[in-house]
């Protein structure tokens, strides 16, 4: 069991390192695509760098989070180049969860110019449509 947790930690650490190198190599204002799993430092960097950021605060054990995840991935593909999509695992980033007032998961927060614009809590019918309309409005 301990070995599984260690392996999981090392894999996550490597994924974060790869995302960081991707962000550095993309420079010049080009937006990263897809959904990026971030740590605290990278989260702050992305918020300061891009106009529209959609953050999915989640945990592996959370069933509603698993329902929301494909929606976030679909929207990330649809709005590539117009918004940056990040995932924040609240178990590994408790500081970010506390700073952002995350009391329930999944919580999706849309940031504009580094500030919270709107928040959606839970997996509910119509979430995809509401997020889509909001991103359309903010990124046009």
Task: Please give the positions annotated as active site.
Answer: 62, 65
> Token digits for 107?
């919580």
> Token digits for 2?
């301990």
Which of 11, 61, 64 is CA-nearest to residue 37?
11
Tell me which H or E stretch contains 108: strand 107-112
Contact 116, 106 (CB under 8 A): no
What span, in angstroms and rounded, lies between the C-alpha atoms of 16 and 45? Answer: 13
Tell me which H or E stretch contains 120: strand 115-121
Which of 95, 115, 137 is CA-nearest to residue 53?
115
């Amino acid at each position: 069991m301990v070995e599984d947790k260690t392996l999981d930690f090392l894999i996550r650490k490597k994924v974060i390192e790869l995302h960081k190198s991707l962000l550095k190599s993309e420079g010049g204002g080009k937006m990263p695509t897809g959904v990026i799993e971030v740590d605290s430092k990278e989260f702050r960097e992305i918020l300061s760098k891009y106009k529209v950021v959609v953050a999915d605060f989640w945990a592996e054990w959370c069933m509603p989070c698993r329902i929301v995840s494909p929606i976030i991935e679909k929207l990330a593909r649809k709005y590539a180049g117009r918004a940056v999509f990040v995932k924040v695992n609240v178990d590994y980033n408790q500081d970010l969860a506390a700073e952002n007032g995350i009391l329930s998961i999944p919580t999706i927060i849309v940031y504009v110019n580094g500030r919270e614009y709107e928040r959606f809590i839970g997996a509910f019918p119509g979430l995809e449509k509401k997020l889509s309309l909001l991103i359309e409005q903010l990124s046009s």
